[in-house]
Structure 1
Amino acid sequence: MNRSASRLLILSLSPLRSDPRVLKQINLFRDKYQVLTCGFGPAPDGVAGHFELDRVLPSWPRDPKRLAARRYRQVYWNIAAVAEASRMLRGQHFDAVLANDANTVPLALSLEPVRGVHADLHEFAPKEHFNKPAWRVLVAPYVRWLCRTYLPAVSSVTTVSEGIAEQYQKDFGIDVDVVTNAAPYAELEPRPTGEKIRLIYSSAGQRYRRIEDIIAAMDGVPEDLELDLIVMPNEPEYVDQLRSQAEPLPNVRFRDPVPYTELVKTISEYDVSISVIPPTNFNLAQALPNKFFEAVQARTALIIGPSPAMQTLLERHGLGAVTEDFTAEGLRAVLQSLTRERIDRWKANADKAADELSSEHQNKAWERAVAALLEPAEA
Structure 2
Amino acid sequence: MNRSRLLILSFSPIEGDARVLKQIEGLSNDYDVTTCGYGPSPSGVSEHIRIPDDMPVWRYSRALLIARLYRIAYLRNHAVAFAHDALKGQEFDIVLANDVDAVGLACALKPVRGVHADLHEYSSRQQNSWKFRFFVRPFVEWMCRRYVARANSWTTVSEGLAREYEREFGFSPQVVTNATPFHDLEPTSCKETIRFVHSGAGLRNRNLLLMAQAVEEASNEVSLDFYLTPNNPDYIAELRRFAEGSARIRVHDPVPYRDLIATLNQYDVGLFVLPPVNFNYAWALPNKIFDFIQARLGVVVGPSPEMASYVRDHDLGVVADDFTVDATRRAIESLSPQVVAEFKRNADASASPLSSETQVMIWKRCIDHLAQQ
TM-score by length of 2: 0.96
In structure 2, what is the Cα distance between the partners aligned to 1:328 and 1:83?
47
Question: In 2, are the aligned partners of 1:276 and 1:305 still within 8 Å (CA)?
Answer: yes
Q: Give the 3-state SS of the residue equivalent to 2:9 in structure 1.
A: strand
Question: In 2, are the aligned partners of 1:356 and 1:362 still within 8 Å (CA)?
Answer: no
Number of positions where the alignment pairs a residue of Structure 1 with one of Structure 2: 373
What residue number does 1:112 align with? Answer: 110
CA deviations on 1:326-376 (whole Å, 9 max, x unpaired) are 122221222222200110000111111112211111232211110012234
1:366 paired to 2:335: no
* Greater Cα shift, 260-269 or 283-292: 260-269
CA shift for structure 1 position 223: 7.0
What residue number does 1:53 align with? Answer: 51
Q: Give the 3-state SS of the residue equivalent to 1:212 in structure 2.
A: helix
In structure 2, what is the Cα distance between the partners aligned to 1:228 and 1:54?
37
What residue number does 1:152 align with? Answer: 149
Q: What pairs up with 1:130-169 in 2 under 5 angstroms?
A: 131-169=128-166
| Pairing partner for 2:69 from 68, 71, 83 | 71
Question: In 2, are the aligned partners of 1:296 and 1:351 still within 8 Å (CA)?
Answer: yes
In structure 2, what is the Cα distance between the partners aligned to 1:270 and 1:72?
49
Q: Give the 3-state SS of the residue equivalent to 2:141 in structure 1.
A: helix
Question: In 1, are the aligned partners of 2:220 and 2:333 still within 8 Å (CA)?
Answer: no
In structure 1, what is the Cα distance between the partners aligned to 2:355 and 2:35?
24
In structure 2, what is the Cα distance between the partners aligned to 1:80 and 1:326?
41
In structure 1, what is the Cα distance between the partners aligned to 2:198 and 2:94?
38
| Pairing partner for 1:98 from 96, 99, 115 | 96
The code of the aligned residue for 1:35 comes to V
The code of the aligned residue for 1:9 comes to L
* Greater Cα shift, 253-262 or 344-353: 253-262
CA shift for structure 1 position 263: 1.8
The code of the aligned residue for 2:182 comes to Y
CA deviations on 1:44-103 (whole Å, 9 max, x unpaired) are 122211111233322114422111110001111222222222222222221111100001
What residue number does 2:80 align with? Answer: 82
Question: In 1, are the aligned partners of 2:60 and 2:74 still within 8 Å (CA)?
Answer: no
Question: In 2, are the aligned partners of 1:18 and 1:260 still within 8 Å (CA)?
Answer: no
* Greater Cα shift, 174-183 or 215-224: 215-224
Would the alpha carbon gap of residues 56 and 223 (structure 1) be closer, same or farther in structure 2, given more than 3 Å must change? farther
Question: In 1, are the aligned partners of 2:116 and 2:151 still within 8 Å (CA)?
Answer: yes
CA shift for structure 1 position 108: 0.9
1:297 paired to 2:294: yes
CA RMSD of aligned residues (A): 1.5
The code of the aligned residue for 2:355 comes to S
Q: Give the 3-state SS of the residue equivalent to 1:56 in structure 2.
A: coil
In structure 1, what is the Cα distance between the partners aligned to 2:365 and 2:189?
39
CA deviations on 1:146-197 (whole Å, 9 max, x unpaired) are 1011122211000011111011111111121111111111111111112432
The code of the aligned residue for 1:312 comes to S
What residue number does 1:175 align with? Answer: 172
Q: Give the 3-state SS of the residue equivalent to 1:284 in structure 2.
A: helix
1:352 paired to 2:343: no
In structure 1, what is the Cα distance between the partners aligned to 2:194 and 2:15?
33
| Pairing partner for 1:185 from 164, 182, 193 | 182
The code of the aligned residue for 2:326 comes to E
Would the alpha carbon gap of residues 81 and 244 (structure 1) be closer, same or farther in structure 2, given more than 3 Å must change? farther
* Greater Cα shift, 193-202 or 292-301: 193-202
Q: Give the 3-state SS of the residue equivalent to 1:277 in structure 2.
A: coil
What residue number does 1:211 align with? Answer: 208
In structure 1, what is the Cα distance between the partners aligned to 2:317 and 2:76?
47
The code of the aligned residue for 1:8 comes to L
What residue number does 1:329 align with? Answer: 326
CA shift for structure 1 position 25: 0.7
| Pairing partner for 1:225 from 222, 231, 235 | 222
* Greater Cα shift, 325-334 or 277-286: 325-334
TM-score by length of 1: 0.95
* Greater Cα shift, 308-317 or 257-266: 257-266
Q: Give the 3-state SS of the residue equivalent to 2:10 in structure 1.
A: strand
| Pairing partner for 2:254 from 254, 257, 275 | 257
CA shift for structure 1 position 142: 0.5
In structure 2, what is the Cα distance between the partners aligned to 1:139 and 1:318?
40
Q: Which runs of 4+ in 1 moved over 6 A?
A: none
Q: Give the 3-state SS of the residue equivalent to 1:85 in structure 2.
A: helix
Q: Give the 3-state SS of the residue equivalent to 1:94 in structure 2.
A: coil
The code of the aligned residue for 2:141 comes to R
In structure 2, what is the Cα distance between the partners aligned to 1:222 and 1:87?
62
Q: What pairs up with 1:269-280 in 2 under 5 angstroms?
A: 269-280=266-277
Question: In 1, are the aligned partners of 2:212 and 2:249 still within 8 Å (CA)?
Answer: yes
